[in-house]
Amino acid sequence: MKSLDNVAKIRNLFKGNLQIVAIFVLPLIIGVFKPNYLTLINLNNILDLSSILIISALGFIFVVECGAIDLSIEANMALAGVVMAKILQAYPGAGVLAIVAAILVSAFCGFLNGLIHTKFKIPSFLTTLGMAYISSGICTVVTEGQYVDIVDLGIREIAIGRLGGSMDAIIPNTLLIACAVAVVIWFLSEKRKHGRYVLAVGGDELIAKDLGIHVDRVKIISFAVAGATFGLAGTLLALKLAAGDSFSAVGYTFETISACVIGGIAISGGIGKMHKAILGAVIITIIRVGMVFFVVPSNVQAGILGIIVILTVAATIDRSKLSIIK
Amino acid sequence: MNPMLDMQKIEKRFGPVHALKGVDFQVFPHEIVGLVGENGAGKSTLMKVLLGIHEKDGGTILIDGKPIGFSGPKDANTHGICMVFQEQSLLANMAVYENMFLGFEHLFMKNGLISKKKMLAAAAEELSRIGLMIDPDAQISKLNFVQRQMIEVIRNIWKANKSGAASVVVALDEPTSALGEKDSNILFSQMEELRKMASIVFISHKLGEIARMCDRTYVLKDGENSGVFERRNVSEDVLRTQMVGGVIEGEYYLIDQQRRPGEKVVLEVKNLNRQGAFEDISFLVHEGEVFCISGAMGSGKEALCDVLYGLERYDSGSIILDGSAVYSKAPNEAVKQGIGFSPDDRKGKALIMGMSVADNIAIPLMKGVINPRKLAEVSRGMIDRLKIKTPSERTLIRNLSGGNQQKAIMARLMLTNAKLVILSHPTRGVDVGAKREIYALIREMARRGTAVILMGDSFEEDIGLSNNIMTMKDRRCTGILNADDRKPTLEEFVEYIV
């Protein structure tokens, strides 16, 4: 029996930290074939690229924990990028205010998502899918399908710069911003009521309601927080690309959801830890950059990522507890 | 001494139905009060009036001598009246302490932040008050039914005290209906601890437990007080008689309808083993036989039935149905081979709550091209024949009482023409009147030649209904008793089980 216990222990340890293992092992495997992958510059690049995904995944956590889903991630990101770029175009001196305004617009979109979902009782996937199309449409109209260039190098520095200003420095600004977001989300989930209420709503909405929790309010706040982080992620992306446009964020909806899934957050709600979303986001970026090194065409990359996500869920899910799959 | 809760002459009407006809109900401090009655006698209506879920049409509710009326359960809770339902309201995905104080986090702030440490300490203190050895940081899903029930009770008492309620009444709705004897006893010893902090209203169909636990017991019948019994004057028989109005034991189980089983062996089980569940089980079940498998929780009887129906695998031995060996790997194969099953968890495992009564009954007929009109007709026939009380065959099954839901399951089993029917606790949570009707259906199944394997809800039921009883203890068969010529007495019987 004792050896059995130990096996179980090791398995549990492995299971609980599979993501951390993956983060160290995956680059090594890729590095065996492509030694350049392990250079400081590239690892640095991975951190930089994961940061945006980490930010969107962190905001998405509350929505998932509620048992809802948000499919308007990339549309919301694109909208934020366009809003910021347009403001910068009209008022070149707006600077950081343009970013703040864009984040507020995104947060408002998230708020609308939550409001429509809860008050009109429309399933969240449908609400957010509809909102995604609306914001994409607005983007396309506003930009007339063109790139909105961002010429202010000073403001772009926020997204492309590194700690200390020098391009050789190791820590990208985006990573610092992601860390700040992580602290805010941690604070909300551990030190404020919101985190517990979100889990309660995801666990059983009816019970949560009976206990006096304002379920609708919890959901609306979650969607609004998510919207804000998508906005931040979208502005950073636009600053990196030096332009806002309707399609620059394509793929982020899938990657954000995948980051949570690969991180091990239950998509059915009620269970989740924020560090898992961060790990998931890093793993996805490691794989993405790896595929670039192997010169996998980008369309094929998306397909491979899809396969990986499904396989991860298939391999890690605890089927003994699942009898109904929806 | 004055009662802390005094309900006087409570009246309630639902349209033409006079549900409560001037019911009196009192609870004194630190008392355990029983509340029994058939389904429809008015127990739950009375409690819902108390909690403010229903508005009363007449009468007075006094708490500590002051008249009061609640707008709903939340309001009632702040005044010290709370009810714990069978369907628990805990969040399985969260920790004990989080569940206990959900909605009250503001009481555990330190420098404007929630302090997990404070919450854990407070939770540990509340748990220790009734001697519960539970880690407050444990996840609810890791706890058993009794522990969860206790946590809910403690949460309610804590909330009531926090809102300034001087005295607390906790009503437990059928707290033991899903429990085995051992767990029930644990619950009872905790109820003794609880009464130091609160009065308890114990609502149950298990009259023996009521007789044993309650200081006083109210019996309701047809919306009226039928009697109040002090502990010293009460017994299971007294309560049963008071509830249904004088039914004699033998008649109760319809023993005059018992037939001798046929010659033909329907099921032969030989040396069946499943590691950790049961060992070396052999028995025969004949045509038209009611064969009971009896034993305490954990005796292995549940696992045995699961194996027979293909829900679980077995390790060695054989199951021979109608002369040919079967090995059902899944319930759908068991059904194909002519085995029907009525599980103990009828809401979770037997019925599709979102479907109508008719559709639930007619499930076995749903194959190939379905003719809805024909299905409805067949179901209607069964509803009439089994006297299932439902407004219409299109009513959702979730709106029926437990007894009528069980009858719908029995109707479904009868439609399948199964050779062998396994009934697990068919009378669980069912009132006395409906129990008799279910007994009559079991008798009818046997009369039609169906072999019935029964796990009754009480040993009396097992003895009263069966032709043969297999007793199990510690995963082994301890004997097969014949109950055809003479029913074994409870004393004789219990020897084999404990």
pLDDT in tens, B339-368: 999 988 888 888 888 889 998 998 888 887
pLDDT per position as a tens digit, B104-133: 888 998 888 889 999 999 999 999 888 888
Residue A184: HSE in the Cβ half-sphere, 13 Å Cα cutoff: 15
* pLDDT above 80: residue B272: yes
Q: State whether A200 and B94 contact (CB < 8 Å).
A: yes
The amino acid at residue A188 is L
Distance separating alpha carbons of residues B372 and B357, to the nearest angstrom: 13
Hey, of A64, A187, A191, A273, which one would you mutate to test binding to chain B, going by the most B CBs within 10 A of its CB?
A191
Say yes or no: A157 contacts chain B, CB-CB below 8 A. Answer: no
User: Is the CB of residue B303 less than 8 Å from the CB of residue B422?
Assistant: no
Extract the tokens encoding B24. Answer: 């009196």
Count the Cβ atoms, other than its own, within 10 Å of residue B58: 13
Residue type, A233: A
- The DSSP H or E segment spanning B184 is helix B181-194
Please name every residue paired with B454 in a beta bridge, in sequence order, or none if there are none.
B292, B423
pLDDT digits (tens, 9 = 90+) for B52-108: 889 999 999 999 888 988 888 888 888 899 998 877 788 988 999 999 998 888 899
Question: What's the sign of the alpha-carbon dihedral B79, B83, B89, B90?
Answer: positive
A187 CB contacts (<8 Å, ≥6 apart)? none
Q: Does the distance separating the beta carbons of B91 and A203 come in below 8 Å?
A: yes
Three-point CA angle A281, A287, A289, nearest 5°: 100
Alpha helices, DSSP H only, in B216-300? 236-244, 249-252
Distance between alpha carbon A2 and the CA centroid of its chain, in Å?
Answer: 42
User: Is A190–B114 a contact, with Cβ atoms under 8 angstroms apart?
Assistant: yes
DSSP state for residue B95 in the 8-state scheme: B
Is B288 within 8 Å of B419 (Cβ atoms)? no
**Cα A204 to Cα A119, A211, A323, B34, B159, distances in angstroms:** 18, 11, 17, 31, 20
Q: For CA atoms A185, A191, A193, A195, give the dihedral sign.
A: positive
Output the average pLDDT for chain B. Answer: 87
* Residue in B38, B39, B49 with CA at minimum distance from that of residue B14: B49
Q: Please give the Cα distance from B219 to B88 (Å, whole number).
A: 25
Q: Which two tokens stand for residue B247?
A: 């039914």
Mutate to test the interface with A, among B91, B139, B156 (most CBs of A within 10 A): B91
Q: Which one of A187, A211, A217, A268 makes the best mutation probe of the B interface by having the most chain B beta carbons within 10 Å?
A: A211
DSSP code, position B86: S
Neighbour tally for B247: CB within 10 Å: 14
B279: pLDDT strictly greater than 60: yes
Integer Cα distance of A241 and A150 in angstroms: 9
Two tokens, residue A38: 């392990």
Distance from CA of B109 to the nearest CA of A (A): 9
* B84, B175 Cβ separation under 8 angstroms: yes
Q: What is the pTM of this model?
A: 0.72
Which candidate, A224, A244, A179, places its Cα nearest to that of A63?
A224
Rg of the Cα trace of chain B? Answer: 24
List of chain A residues whose C-beta atoms are within 8 Å of the C-beta of residue B120: none
What is the structure's pLDDT at B37? 82
pLDDT of residue A68: 93
Contact A41, A49 (CB under 8 A): no
Note the pLDDT tens digit of each residue in B301-325. Answer: 888 998 988 888 889 999 999 888 8
* pLDDT value of position B16: 65
Backbone angles phi, psi at B220, to 5 degrees: -105, 145
The parts of chain A modelled with pLDDT lower than 70 are 1-16, 165-169, 316-326
* pLDDT tens per residue, range B137-194: 999 988 888 888 889 989 989 988 888 887 899 999 888 877 778 888 888 988 888 8
Please state which of the four CATH numbers 2.40.50, 1.10.150, 1.10.1060, 1.10.3470 is assigned to the domain occupying A19-317: 1.10.3470
Q: Is A277 on the interface with B (CB under 8 A)?
A: no
Pairwise CA distance, residues A124 & A113, whole Å: 8
Q: Which tops the pLDDT comparison, A158 or B433?
A: A158
Please tell me the distance from the alpha carbon of residue A252 to that of residue A72, in angstroms, as a whole number: 10
Chain A neighbors of B89, CB-CB under 8 A: 207, 210-211
Q: Amino acid letter at A256?
A: T
Q: Is A190 on the interface with B (CB under 8 A)?
A: yes
Which residues in chain A are closer than 8 Å to B108, comparing Cβ atoms? Answer: none
Residue linked to tokens 């890791």: B142
* Distances in whole angstroms, Cα of residue A131 to Cα of each of A255, B270, B320: 19, 64, 61
Residue B457 structure tokens: 């809800």
Beta strands in B275-358 (DSSP E): 278-286, 290-294, 316-321, 324-326, 339-342
Residues of A in contact with B90 (CB under 8 A): 207
A254 and A305 Cβ atoms separated by less than 8 Å: yes
Size (chain A), residues: 326
Contact B324, B267 (CB under 8 A): no
H runs (alpha helix) in chain A:
2-16, 18-33, 40-65, 73-90, 96-119, 124-143, 153-160, 173-186, 193-203, 205-210, 215-241, 252-263, 274-293, 298-316
C-beta of residue B440 within 8 angstroms of C-beta of residue B448: no
Cβ-Cβ contacts under 8 Å for A62 (sequence gap 6 or more): A185, A188, A189, A194, A198, A221, A222, A225, A226
- Please report the number of interchain residue pairs, chain A to chain B, with beta-carbon separation below 8 angstroms: 47
Q: Strands, DSSP E only, in B168-264?
A: 169-173, 199-203, 216-221, 224-230
CA-nearest of A260, A240, A255, A283 to A67 is: A260
Question: Kindly report the CA angle at B179 between B173 and B180, in degrees rounded to 5?
Answer: 145
B498 pLDDT more than 70: no
Q: Where are the domains of chain A?
A: 19-317
Q: Is the sign of the CA dihedral B46, B47, B48, B51 positive or negative? A: positive
Query: How far apart are the C-alpha atoms of A213 and A205, rounded to whole Å?
Result: 9
Question: Is-contact A225 A217, C-beta < 8 A?
Answer: no
Write the CA distances from B275 to A1, B327, B470, integer angstroms: 16, 17, 20
Element (H, E) at B272: strand B265-274
Selecting from A192, A211, A271 the residue whose C-beta is nearest the C-beta of B102 gives A211
Q: Closest to B93 (Cβ–Cβ): which among A197, A199, A212?
A: A199
Contact B73 A210 (CB under 8 A): yes
- CA distance, residue A52 to nearest chain B CA (Å): 29
Q: Does the CB of B1 have a partner CB in chain A at under 8 Å?
A: no
Neighboring chain A residues of B105 at a CB cutoff of 8 Å: 193, 196
d(CA B318, CA B270): 5
pLDDT greater than 90 at residue B391? no
pLDDT at A11: 62
- CB count within 10 Å of CB B478 equals 16
Residue B453 is predicted with a pLDDT of 95
Which residue in the set B91, B105, B106 is minimally distant from A207, CB to CB?
Answer: B91
Q: Give dist(CA B72, CA B67) in Å, integer.
A: 16
How large is the ipTM?
0.76
Question: Inter-chain contact B89–A210, Cβ cutoff 8 Å?
Answer: yes
* Per-residue pLDDT tens over the stretch B227-254: 898 888 888 878 877 776 544 466 678 8
Integer CA distances (angstroms), B280 to B205, B314, B323, B424, B457, in order = 35, 11, 20, 21, 25
For residues A249 and A102, is the Cβ–Cβ distance under 8 A?
no
The larger pLDDT score, comparing residue B371 to residue A170, is at B371
pLDDT, residue A124, reads 94
